[in-house]
């Protein structure tokens, strides 16, 4: 048993008292007014003990809470400068890593442009050689069928920033094509609950359209019907 708790309350004594009451409840059968009153008396004794213990420990609990609050405030104050240093250091590392990734992409584009130019020059050289050899049809076919351009990815080692992770997110760049993909079945249509459907209606401004078209909304929009409700 914790000595500090023992100073506040005799835990063993309280456990024994509770055990006695529990045994009394287990042994007593409520079958008449007398046994009913006895059971109520046991219940009252248990509740009175709870109330007394809460009152007895209330001061200690409040003091402990105040101490915890004070120490937490102290911890936050003394660690805040270190947290700021760590955040600034990580931000600078992240910024450098971002610039390195941009440099890698730029270098990749430059290499792809060089390779494309080399491939185009090779295509023209082959066509010219075929033309000189009298094979005009083959020369024309070479000109109409560009050679595939090999892609070389620059190997630039960018150190990973501790705590940094890649987060992929969706951005709608062509709403018509997105709806066409759902309509054609190319992209499965997700199941939406009532709240999500209401949010979609709001985003698309369908309530404003329904106000104008009323029950004729379905004529303009397949799968959407104009509903009405009454409000004061």
Average pLDDT of the chain to the nearest whole number: 81
pTM score:
0.43
Return the residue matching tokens 């501790």: 162
Structure confidence at residue 63 as a pLDDT band (50, 70, 90) = very high
**6-35 tens-digit pLDDT:** 567 888 899 999 999 999 999 999 999 999
**94-121 tens-digit pLDDT:** 888 888 888 888 887 887 787 778 777 8
> Which of 74-88, 133-147, 180-194 holds the top average pLDDT?
74-88
- Give a three-class secondary structure readout of the chain: CCHHHHHHCCHHHHHHHHHHHHHHHHHCCCCCHHHHHHHHHHHHHHHHHHHHHHHHHHHHHHHHHHHHHHHHHHHHHHHHHHHHHHHHHHHHHHHHHHHHHHHHHHHHHHHHHHHHHHHHHHHHHHHHHHHHCCCHHHHHHHHHCCCCCCCCCCCCCCCCCCCCCCCCCCCCCCHHHHHHHHHHCCCCCCCCCHHHHHHHHHHHCHHHHHHHHHHHHHHHCCCCCCCCCCCC
Per-residue pLDDT averaged across 45-74, rounded? 94
**132-153 tens-digit pLDDT:** 888 888 778 767 765 554 555 5
- pLDDT > 50? residue 1: no
Q: Are 138 and 130 in contact (CB under 8 A)?
A: yes
Q: pLDDT at position 148, please?
A: 55
Among the ranges given (32-46, 126-140, 158-172, 173-187), the one the predictor scored with the smallest mean pLDDT = 158-172
Q: pLDDT at position 81, please?
A: 94
Residue 21 burial (CB count, 10 A): 15
Q: Are 149 and 116 in contact (CB under 8 A)?
A: yes
């Amino acid at each position: 048993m914790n000595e500090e708790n023992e100073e506040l309350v005799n835990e063993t004594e309280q456990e024994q008292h509770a055990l006695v009451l529990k045994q009394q409840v287990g042994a007593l059968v409520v079958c008449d007014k007398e046994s009913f009153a006895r059971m109520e008396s046991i219940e009252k004794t248990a509740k009175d003990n709870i109330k007394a213990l809460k009152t007895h420990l209330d001061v200690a609990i409040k003091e402990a809470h105040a101490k915890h609050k004070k120490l937490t405030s102290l911890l936050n104050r003394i660690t805040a400068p270190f947290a700021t240093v760590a955040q600034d250091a990580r931000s600078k590392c992240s910024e450098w890593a971002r610039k390195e990734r941009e440099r890698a992409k730029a270098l990749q584009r430059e290499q792809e442009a060089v390779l494309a130019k080399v491939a185009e020059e090779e295509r023209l050289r082959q066509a010219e050689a075929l033309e000189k050899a009298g094979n005009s049809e083959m020369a024309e076919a070479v000109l109409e069928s560009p050679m595939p351009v090999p892609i070389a990815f620059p190997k630039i080692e960018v150190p990973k920033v501790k705590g940094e992770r890649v987060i992929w997110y969706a951005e709608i760049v062509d709403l018509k094509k997105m709806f066409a993909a759902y309509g054609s079945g190319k992209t499965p249509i997700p199941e939406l609950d009532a709240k999500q459907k209401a949010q979609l209606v709001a985003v698309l401004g369908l309530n404003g359209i329904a106000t104008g078209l009323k029950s004729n909304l379905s004529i303009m929009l397949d799968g959407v019907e104009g509903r009405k409700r009454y409000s004061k």
